[in-house]
């Protein structure tokens, strides 16, 4: 018997053995990637290959003003066309706060077609009043707001009580998701120790203190961190700072299509003989 058909299609269960992944637009298991400056062709190739599995693209740090405008507009246009929320890095907004250039920042964000922003204070200190005002102002302009908690300085830890309070206030002001800082290295900041391993006790305390974990993004740039969080919090945990080349890899782990998370499969396993 020939196994060839006129319409080539993988058996339904093979695409998502976990049986849990949503199609876009997702409310669960969102993936935020960090683009540190790839070119338009590489960006387009990435979206063609794995755009279905990307929910948010962050143009990292303060890279946005350094692009040729034609290139930046094209990348933003491509992301929007794929139903992806695209934002400049939170560091750029911190620079705008420090230089008192907030109106110009928002004006350019809207003019370029960004669909959201990130409000953070990882490098400078921003008062609660200013943080709240930035969130509300962005929402009033029709932008999706992601906030970030934690400092970028190596060795910085999470103050659980402060994080819980900050997150609740951010959500009350209109933030969509609150991100736990880990930088692009994933080492020595926030949830992760100097070797990039998760501080189990810290995660447990956060789980007890913050009830709305479905509105928290965990920056986890390293594969072992992604595996740990998927195993601990499930395949629909929100993950951020994912390198552009790792989108498909992460999605296989979410679905139980890689040995690291094989146990996530929820379908019976049958012996099959041709």
Give CA–CA dist 274/26, Å, rounded: 37
Between these two residues, 134 and 268, which has the higher pLDDT value?
134
**DSSP secondary structure, 236-251, as one string:** T-EEEEEEGGGHHHHH
Segment 101-119, tens digit of pLDDT: 999 999 999 999 999 999 9
Residues with Cβ within 8 Å of 238's Cβ and at least 6 positions away in sequence, in order, are 29, 30, 31, 32, 177, 214, 216, 217, 218
DSSP-derived letter for residue 7 is S
Mean pLDDT, the chain, integer: 92
Between these two residues, 156 and 267, which has the higher pLDDT value?
156
For residue 270, what pLDDT band results from cuts at 50, 70 and 90? very low
Q: Please report the domains of the chain, with CATH numbers, ordered by start residue.
A: 22-264 (3.20.20.70)
- The values of phi and psi at residue 268, to 5°, are -65, 150
Between these two residues, 13 and 248, which has the higher pLDDT value?
248
Residue 272 has pLDDT above 80, yes or no: no
Cis peptide before 25 (omega within 30 of 0): yes
pLDDT given at position 8 = 80
Residue 268 has pLDDT above 60, yes or no: no
Residue 121 has pLDDT above 50, yes or no: yes
Segment 66-84, tens digit of pLDDT: 999 999 999 999 999 999 9
pLDDT given at position 267 = 57
pLDDT given at position 183 = 79
- In residues, how long is the chain? 274
């Amino acid at each position: 018997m020939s196994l060839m058909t006129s319409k080539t299609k993988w058996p339904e269960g093979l695409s998502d053995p976990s049986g849990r992944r949503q199609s876009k637009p997702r409310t669960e298991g969102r993936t935020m990637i960090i683009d540190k400056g790839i070119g338009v062709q590489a960006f387009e190739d990435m979206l063609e290959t794995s755009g279905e599995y990307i929910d948010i693209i962050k143009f990292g740090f303060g890279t946005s003003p350094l692009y040729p405008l034609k290139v930046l507009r094209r990348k933003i246009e491509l992301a929007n066309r794929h139903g992806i929320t695209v934002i400049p890095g939170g560091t750029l907004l911190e620079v705008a706060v420090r230089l008192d250039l907030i109106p110009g920042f928002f004006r350019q964000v809207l003019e370029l077609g960004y669909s959201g922003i990130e409000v953070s204070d990882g490098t400078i200190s921003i008062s609660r009043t200013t943080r709240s005002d930035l969130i509300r102002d962005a929402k009033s302009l029709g932008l999706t707001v992601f906030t970030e908690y934690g400092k970028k300085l190596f060795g910085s830890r999470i103050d659980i009580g402060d994080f819980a309070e900050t997150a609740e206030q951010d959500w009350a002001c209109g933030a969509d998701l609150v991100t736990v800082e880990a930088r692009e290295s994933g080492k020595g900041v926030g949830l992760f120790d100097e070797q990039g391993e998760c501080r189990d006790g810290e995660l447990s305390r956060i789980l007890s203190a913050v009830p709305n974990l479905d509105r928290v993004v965990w920056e986890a740039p390293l594969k072992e961190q992604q595996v740990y969080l998927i195993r601990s919090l499930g395949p629909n945990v929100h993950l951020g700072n994912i390198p552009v080349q790792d989108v498909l890899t992460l999605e296989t782990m979410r679905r139980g299509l890689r040995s690291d998370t094989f146990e996530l499969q929820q379908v019976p396993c049958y012996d099959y003989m041709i």
